[in-house]
């Protein structure tokens, strides 16, 4: 890793500036035509086409979503950017995250990263990438790994419940999120807290064409287990639920709801949601789906009646009927129920669904916060991640878009003010005269929205609270009265003739910093009453910002240009330049360029500021090209820096290849000696690292051997790590080789001595889980078979030689088409057999059929013998491995001799009954017959010389059917 990092650093130092013509400028501050939007766009396009999606504007990071995998977020990349100077490597979100982390550690101060951009720009992915970086770079222990896992896995849960497919993005965040990551004094992540706001609850009940509801609904329906769906009363078909099909795209090829469901289930478990919590959570989600299917019909008087038999949320149907179809009016000490129309009832149903989902989401966030809470009361530093909605403009813009766009206005105002303030403070601290920078101040728009007693929000609040029949349109009339003549506000009534054609009577238009947006006032009053979050608090002292640009798989010039405008990138660049393109501390500047001046090379013994002064004098900098601050040099034009960098590139090669003379020692170095010296130093560094690595390896091996020698001793310092390794190794191997069947008694891995007790417990637990999983998945018929198997086990276990081999085989129920024509009762069991006559033991091929009433022997659809169960005296088999069955039947036929006993000797494929080694039976009064059983190498049935029927079975024979 060290070698690769050094190579990357050297390559970047050698090529980052000289490659500017091929891959554009890595930092827009170094752009010569920094006031030109065209030059800005050309630089973005050039870098995007080379898959360089990140570019700096000072410490601000601009990214352009490539909509493809670039392989730039690997563990290898994280290692390269970890602990490196911010401008040392090419722009990357890892560099930004690392800079914030190291600044927080060194200053022991809180910082945060603001991630902004429009929907589809990649804000959610950026915040996840930052979290993953901190998960890798922070110190690690078992406890800290647990915190890290919860931080990472909170994302898929919040995405499932708070994200949805929109027209621009398959995974668009429909809520704002601010996450605190808490670190201790060593820089280890020890906790976190999430603040959510502006959940788009209206999406629960309505989606535009081409959009979906929140992901969790589809994940539950498509991925939920059969038993779970049965308990919740759901069907595995999204088309059955009104709240899921309004966008007409319930299934999306790029979204795998089944896989995402498993991810959410795993995440909920790791975040420590109990089974009861999870059960209640999905019961509520299911109830919202059921609620969407409740419909209403108008009565004869036009009032709403509930036409549904669903019982939701544990509420009796009559209470649901009353709550959704009537409004309760309190008049002094009396309560009166006023009936709704069908339309009002639908509105009440949707309002209830939104309220349920909104409260559920708040509960979910609180549960996650409980899991992330840091139990240590000592002081912590914090890195905040603010992932906010981007500026939104749709065909119909409602109250949600109004709030989102106002948030972006406030952030833009705050962003420019803080950037301007930080620049002014740096100039003042360095003793350099500040040059005023022209920029667009959007304070007039912010005041239009939030000014006390006159702003849109104040007027909206007053209209919601005033007595009387306030409506969305009376609110619009108040706006027209108060805002008449404002340059950034217009309505149909206030507009000129040409503009009026583009506005409906219920619309008002705001001229935002990012452009014009037309809002429909419909729903403003109701949604304002529901809104929990509205105040935009100023956040001071943020370290850096990530702004994401949304484009397609090719560079969409119009789309990107619009975002560059409303994100204020040109304003920020002008403020950041403030007359000087480049600034560096004297130590850094001198270290890089000292080889360009004989007086400063190879060693400068004066102060860094004096060394820089000597260096730039030698380079011929003109007085108007630079300024010397207290700790930094400021260079006005990029071309001055580029000329210095070009000279440095030439100098480096000359130092390595040509003879070098030391003016101080007056010694001439032979050609190439400098390169040899560099190589020697590098080889020495590598050798020292290799020695450290081998010493570490020897220490580990010694400890392993010592642990092995003492493995059977009580746990101590000598063997604790070895035993921990043994436990982990065994559990890892066991996880990959678990038995797949309850009947598999041989494949359980033999445990080491230290894991004997744990292995027994794990085996019992695994067997229990397999049984539970099997029972849940079997059919009713299979359950009957299991019951029969259990009964058979009671009879035969340990009593018949071939019983163990028969356990794993299910009973085979064979049904023949002709049986119903011959036998009136339904067939319970049917099997082909060979029947042996009592006289002479002649074999006969028959079909044995058991019904509810009797047993039958059938030959070619003809009943040859019927045995009533009432006449059955007994059943005999041997304890060997034969398949022979003897039925003892009382002769009830008057044609048979009195006192005689009828028997049926049958050889068939599966036998489990009582056992004998020799069976005697009465052929007729005074005449007996015998069946003998014995073991041999082959299976045979024949008449012996003594006249007995001999049944021979192979020892421990296996059934073949």
* Residue 200, Cβ density class (10 Å: 0-12 exposed, 13-18 middle, ≥19 buried): buried
Is 901 annotated to bind a ligand? Reply is no
Tell me, yes or no, whether 815 lies in a domain.
no
Most confident segment among 75-84, 439-448, 503-512, 850-859: 503-512
pLDDT of 534 reads 41
Say yes or no: 832 and 939 in one domain: yes
**Is 123 labelled as part of a ligand binding site?**
yes
In a domain, 452, yes or no: yes
**Which residues are bridge partners to 148 per DSSP?**
none
State mean pLDDT over 760-776: 85
Q: Could you give the CA distance from residue 458 to residue 408 in angstroms, rounded to a whole number?
A: 19
Same domain, 844 and 946: yes
Q: How many CB atoms lie within 10 A of CB 743?
A: 9
Question: Per mean pLDDT, which range of 75-89, 265-279, 333-347, 395-409 is the poorest?
Answer: 333-347
pLDDT at 518: 94
Q: Are 270 and 149 in contact, with CB atoms under 8 Å apart?
A: yes
List beta partners, residue 890.
Answer: 901
Local confidence band at 611 (pLDDT 50, 70, 90 cut-offs): very high
> Could you tell me the pLDDT band of residue 718, with boundaries at 50, 70 and 90?
confident
Confidence (pLDDT) at 671: 52
Is residue 620 in some structural domain?
A: yes
**Residue 877 C-alpha from the chain's centroid:** 61
Domain membership of residue 617 (yes or no) is yes
User: What pLDDT score was predicted for residue 20?
Assistant: 43
- The answer, yes or no, to whether residue 605 has pLDDT greater than 80, is yes
Span 364-389, pLDDT tens digits: 999 999 988 887 767 688 888 887 77
Angle at 248 between CA 242 and CA 251, to 5 degrees: 95
User: Does the pLDDT value for residue 278 go beyond 70?
Assistant: yes
The mean of the pLDDT values for the chain is 80
The token pair at 914 is: 């009582």
Which range, of 155-169, 498-512, 831-845, averages the lowest pLDDT?
Answer: 831-845
> Residues 453-489: pLDDT tens digits?
889 999 998 888 887 788 889 999 999 999 888 999 9
Quote the tokens at residue 301. 């008087």
* Greater pLDDT, 488 or 515: 488
> For residue 583, what are the β-bridge partners?
634
| Residue bearing the bigger pLDDT, 736 or 204 | 204
Of 638, 583, 594, 646, the C-alpha closest to 616 is 594
Q: What is the pLDDT of residues 433-455, one digit of tens each?
A: 877 777 777 888 999 999 988 89
User: Of 656, 677, 708, which residue sits at a domain end?
Assistant: 656
**Domain identity same for 499 and 588:** no
Most confident of 5-14, 45-54, 637-646, 925-934: 45-54
- Do 517 and 584 have their domain in common? no
The set of residues, in sequence order, having a beta carbon less than 8 Å from that of 161 and lying 6+ positions away, is 214, 215, 216, 360, 361, 364
Q: Outline where 431-465 has alpha helix (H).
A: 443-450, 456-465
Is residue 118 a known part of a binding site? yes
Evaluate whether residue 332 is within a structural domain.
Answer: no
Lowest-confidence range among 128-142, 752-766, 771-785?
771-785
pTM of the complete model: 0.60
pLDDT category at 847 given cuts 50, 70, 90 is confident
Structure confidence by residue, pLDDT tens digits, 136-149: 888 777 667 777 78
pLDDT tens per residue, range 208-262: 889 999 999 999 999 999 999 998 889 999 999 999 999 999 999 889 999 999 9
Distance of CA 613 to the CA centre of its chain: 55
Examine residue 627 and state whether it is found in any structural domain, yes or no.
yes
Q: Vertex 423, ends 417 and 426: CA angle to 5°? A: 140
Please check whether residue 59 lies inside any domain of the structure: no
**Contact status, residue 837 vs residue 847, Cβ threshold 8 Å:** no
Confidence category of residue 205, pLDDT binned at 50, 70, 90 = very high
Query: What's the CATH code of the domain at 450?
Result: 1.20.58.530
Query: Which pLDDT band holds residue 312 (cuts at 50, 70, 90)?
Result: low
Q: What is the pLDDT, as a whole number, of residue 333?
A: 67
Enumerate the active-site residues.
119-120, 124, 169, 172-173, 390, 392
Q: Is 117 flagged in the annotation as binding?
A: yes
Residue where a domain terminates, one of 656, 677, 693: 656
**Full domain range(s) for residue 465:** 413-521
The residue with greater pLDDT, 898 or 375, is: 375
Q: What percent of the chain has pLDDT over 70?
A: 85
The angle subtended at Cα 669 by Cα 667 and Cα 673, nearest 5°, is: 150
Are 855 and 944 found together in one domain?
yes
Please check whether residues 831 and 948 belong to one and the same domain: yes
- Under the banding of pLDDT at 50, 70 and 90, the label for residue 957 is very low
Instruction: Please state, for a pLDDT cut of 90, what percent of the chain lies above it.
Output: 18
According to the model, what pLDDT value does residue 323 have? 78
Q: What is the pLDDT of residue 899?
A: 30
Distance CA 497, CA 517 (A): 19
Partners of 306 in the β-ladder: 296
- The stretches of 16-82 forming alpha helices (DSSP H) are 20-23, 37-49, 75-81
Residue 847 within any structural domain of the chain:
yes
Q: Is 148 exposed, middle or buried (0-12, 13-18, 19+ CB in 10 A)?
A: buried
Domain co-membership, 514 together with 431: yes
Cis omega (within 30 of 0) on the bond before 602?
Answer: yes
Strand 626-628 relative to strand 172-173: parallel, antiparallel, unpaired?
unpaired
Phi, psi of 934, rounded to the nearest 5 degrees: -155, 165
The domain that holds 637 is classified in CATH as 3.30.70.1590
Q: What is the pLDDT of residues 93-139, one digit of tens each?
A: 999 999 888 888 887 888 888 887 777 788 888 888 998 898 888 87
DSSP code of residue 871: G
Report the distance separating Cα 308 and Cα 296, nearest Å: 8
Residue ranges of E strands in 284-348: 296-298, 304-306, 326-331, 334-339
Range from 172-181, 524-533, 677-686 carrying the lowest mean pLDDT: 524-533
d(CA 533, CA 552): 33
508 has pLDDT over 90: yes
| Residues 507, 609 within the same domain | no
- Are 513 and 618 part of one and the same domain? no
pLDDT band at 628 (very low <50, low <70, confident <90, very high): very high
pLDDT of residue 937: 77
pLDDT at 577 over 80: no
Q: How many domains does the chain have?
A: 3
Q: Tens digits of per-residue pLDDT, 551-574? A: 666 788 888 888 887 777 887 788
Residue with tokens 């501390």: 585
Gap between the Cα atoms of 882 and 959, Å rounded:
9
Residue with tokens 């044609």: 895
pLDDT of residue 956: 56
Q: Judge whether 325 is annotated as a binding position.
A: no
Q: What is the pLDDT of residues 786-829, one digit of tens each?
A: 788 888 888 888 788 888 877 777 666 555 544 445 566 666 77
List % helix, strand, coil for the chain (3-state, nearest 5). 45, 20, 35
What's the rounded Cα separation, in Å, for the pair 44 and 557?
10
Of 500, 521, 542, which residue sits at a domain end?
A: 521
Mean pLDDT confidence for 631-653? 84
Q: Is 886 in contact with 920 (CB distance < 8 Å)?
A: no
């Amino acid at each position: 890793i060290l070698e690769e990092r050094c190579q990357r650093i050297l390559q970047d130092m050698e090529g980052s500036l000289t490659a500017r013509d091929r891959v554009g400028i890595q930092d827009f501050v170094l752009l010569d035509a920094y006031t030109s939007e065209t030059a800005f766009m050309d630089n973005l396009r050039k870098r995007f086409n080379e898959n360089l999606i990140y570019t700096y504007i000072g410490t601000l990071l601009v990214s352009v979503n490539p909509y493809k995998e670039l392989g730039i977020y690997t563990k290898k990349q994280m290692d390269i950017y970890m602990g490196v100077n911010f401008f040392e490597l090419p722009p990357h979100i890892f560099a930004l995250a690392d800079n914030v982390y190291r600044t927080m550690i060194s200053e022991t101060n809180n910082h945060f990263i603001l991630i902004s951009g429009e929907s589809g720009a990649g804000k959610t992915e950026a915040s996840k990438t930052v979290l993953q970086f901190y998960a890798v770079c922070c110190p690690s222990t078992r406890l800290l790994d647990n915190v890290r896992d919860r931080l990472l896995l909170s994302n898929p849960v919040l995405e499932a419940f708070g994200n949805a497919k929109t027209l621009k993005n398959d995974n668009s965040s429909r809520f704002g999120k601010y996450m605190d990551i808490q670190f201790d004094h060593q820089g280890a992540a020890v906790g976190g807290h999430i603040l959510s706001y502006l959940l788009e609850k209206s999406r629960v009940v309505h989606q535009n064409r081409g959009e979906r509801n929140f992901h969790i609904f589809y994940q539950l329906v498509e991925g939920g287990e059969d038993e779970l769906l049965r308990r919740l009363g759901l069907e595995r078909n999204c088309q059955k639920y009104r709240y899921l099909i309004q966008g007409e795209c319930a299934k999306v090829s790029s979204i795998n709801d089944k896989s995402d469901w498993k991810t959410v289930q795993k995440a909920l478990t790791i975040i420590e949601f109990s089974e009861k919590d999870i059960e209640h959570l999905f019961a509520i989600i299911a109830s919202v789906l059921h609620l969407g299917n409740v419909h209403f019909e108008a009565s004869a008087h036009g009032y709403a009646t509930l036409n549904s038999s669903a019982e939701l949320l544990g509420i009796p149907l009559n209470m649901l009927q009353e709550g959704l179809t009537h409004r309760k009016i309190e008049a002094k000490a009396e309560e009166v129920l006023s009936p709704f129309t069908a339309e009002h009832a639908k509105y009440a149903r949707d309002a209830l669904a939104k309220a349920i989902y909104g409260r559920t989401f708040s509960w979910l966030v609180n549960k996650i916060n409980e899991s992330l809470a840091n139990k240590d009361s000592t002081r912590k530093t914090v890195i905040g991640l603010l992932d906010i909605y981007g500026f939104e403009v749709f065909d119909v813009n409602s109250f949600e878009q109004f709030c989102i766009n106002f948030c972006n206005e406030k952030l833009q105002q705050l962003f420019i003010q803080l950037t301007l303030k930080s620049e002014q403070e740096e100039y003042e601290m360095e003793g350099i005269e500040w040059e005023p920078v022209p920029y667009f101040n959007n304070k007039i728009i912010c005041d239009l929205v939030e000014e006390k007693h006159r702003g849109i929000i104040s007027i909206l609040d007053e209209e919601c609270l005033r007595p009387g029949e306030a409506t969305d349109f009376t609110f619009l009339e108040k706006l027209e009265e108060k805002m008449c003549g404002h340059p950034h506000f217009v309505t149909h009534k206030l507009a000129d003739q040409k503009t009026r054609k583009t506005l409906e009577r219920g619309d008002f238009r705001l001229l935002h910093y990012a452009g014009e947006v037309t809002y429909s006032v419909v729903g403003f009053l109701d949604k304002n009453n529901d809104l929990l979050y509205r105040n935009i608090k100023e956040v001071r002292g943020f370290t850096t910002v990530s702004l994401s640009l949304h484009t397609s798989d090719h560079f969409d010039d119009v789309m990107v240009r619009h975002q560059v405008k409303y994100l204020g990138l040109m304003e920020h660049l002008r403020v950041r330049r403030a007359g000087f393109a480049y600034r560096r501390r004297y130590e850094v500047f001198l270290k890089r360029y000292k080889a360009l001046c004989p007086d400063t090379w190879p060693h400068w013994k004066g102060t860094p500021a004096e060394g820089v002064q000597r260096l730039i004098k030698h380079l011929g900098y003109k007085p108007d090209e630079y300024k010397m601050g207290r700790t930094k040099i400021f260079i006005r034009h990029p071309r001055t820096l580029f000329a210095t960098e070009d000279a440095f590139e030439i100098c480096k090669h000359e130092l390595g290849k040509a003879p070098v003379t030391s003016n101080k020692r007056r010694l001439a170095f032979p050609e190439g000696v400098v390169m040899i010296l560099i190589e020697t130093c590098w080889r020495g560094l590598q050798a020292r690292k290799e020695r450290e690595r081998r010493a570490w390896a020897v220490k580990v091996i010694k400890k392993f051997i010592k642990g092995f020698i003492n493995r059977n001793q009580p746990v101590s310092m000598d063997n604790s790590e070895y035993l921990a390794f043994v436990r982990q190794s065994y559990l890892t191997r066991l996880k990959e080789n678990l038995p797949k069947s309850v009947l598999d008694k041989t494949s359980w891995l033999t445990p080491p001595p230290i894991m004997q007790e744990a292995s027994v417990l794990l085996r019992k637990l695994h067997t229990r889980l397999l049984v539970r999983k099997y029972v849940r998945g079997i059919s009713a018929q299979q359950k009957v078979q299991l019951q029969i198997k259990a009964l058979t086990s009671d009879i035969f276990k340990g009593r018949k030689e071939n019983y163990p081999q028969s356990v794993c085989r299910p009973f085979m129920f064979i049904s023949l088409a002709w049986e119903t024509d011959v036998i009136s009762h339904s067939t319970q069991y049917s099997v082909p057999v060979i029947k042996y006559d009592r006289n002479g033991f002649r074999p006969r091929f028959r079909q044995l059929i058991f019904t509810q009433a009797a047993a039958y022997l059938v030959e070619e659809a003809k009943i040859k013998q019927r045995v009533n169960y009432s006449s059955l005296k007994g059943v005999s088999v041997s304890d060997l491995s034969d398949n022979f069955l003897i039925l003892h039947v009382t002769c009830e036929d008057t044609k048979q001799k009195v006192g005689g006993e009828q028997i049926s000797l049958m050889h068939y494929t599966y036998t489990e009954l009582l056992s004998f080694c020799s069976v005697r039976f009465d052929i007729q009064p005074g005449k007996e017959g015998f069946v003998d059983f014995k073991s041999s190498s082959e299976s045979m049935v024949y008449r012996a010389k003594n006249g007995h029927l001999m049944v021979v079975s192979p020892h421990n024979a296996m059934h073949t059917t």
